[in-house]
Amino acid sequence: MSGHGQYQGAVRGGKFYLSSPEQSAEQAVRLTSMSMAAAMKPESKELDLSDYEGRSIVVEGYYSGDWIYSATITDEDSSSETSA
Instruction: Report the run of H or E that residue 17 belongs to, with start and end.
Output: strand 15-18
Q: In sequence order, what DSSP letters do the residues of 16-72 get, joined into one string?
A: EEE--TT-SS-EEEEEBSS-TT-SS-GGGGBPP-GGGTT-EEEEEEEEETTEEEEEE
pTM (global) more than 0.75 = yes
Q: What is the pLDDT of residue 19?
A: 86
Phi-psi map region of 6: left, alpha, beta (phi>0 left; psi -120 to 50 alpha): beta
Phi-psi map region of 3: left, alpha, beta (phi>0 left; psi -120 to 50 alpha): left
11-51: per-residue pLDDT in tens? 999 999 998 656 556 779 999 999 999 989 999 999 999 99
